[in-house]
């Protein structure tokens, strides 16, 4: 079967670092996406990992371990505007993109 798990909610303070984990069980893995979505808005693409390792893009980094079925999104120097839902999605080769339920991150001052 296919299953994607990520925490439902997380809280952090401005300036801190937060790591949002995502574990998955799918067949025919073909890459993993991370998205940010603010309430009432369309999602924003953050990263796409196909190979193992860490990819850094400014304050955001994404890590993938295919053998462990595990990824994380790392957000550094948190800002209030980072309060949003973060979605992990797995590209299942030849078929579909499977989404997790999302992690709601609340950043406080």
In terms of CB distance, is 16 or 96 closer to another protein?
96
Residue 80: burial class (beta carbons within 10 Å; 0-12, 13-18, 19+): exposed
User: CA angle, 98 as apex, 93 and 103 as ends, to 5°?
Assistant: 140
Binding flag, residue 95, another protein (CB under 8 A): yes
Q: Both tokens of residue 74?
A: 């790392």
- Residues 6, 43, 69, 73: which binds another protein (CB under 8 A)? 43
- Residues 25, 44, 79, 106: which binds another protein (CB under 8 A)? 44
Which residues contact another protein (rule: CB under 8 A)?
33, 37, 42-45, 48, 87, 89, 94-99, 101-102
């Amino acid at each position: 079967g296919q299953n994607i798990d990520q925490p439902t909610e997380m809280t952090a303070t401005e300036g801190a670092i937060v790591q949002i984990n995502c574990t998955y069980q799918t067949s025919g893995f073909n890459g993993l996406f991370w998205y940010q979505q603010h309430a009432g808005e369309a999602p924003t693409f953050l990263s796409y990992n196909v190979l193992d390792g860490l990819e850094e893009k400014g304050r955001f980094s994404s890590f993938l371990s295919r053998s462990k079925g595990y990824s994380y999104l790392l957000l550094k120097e948190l800002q209030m505007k980072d309060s949003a839902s973060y979605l992990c999605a797995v590209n299942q080769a030849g078929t579909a993109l499977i989404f997790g339920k999302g992690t709601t991150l609340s950043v406080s001052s």
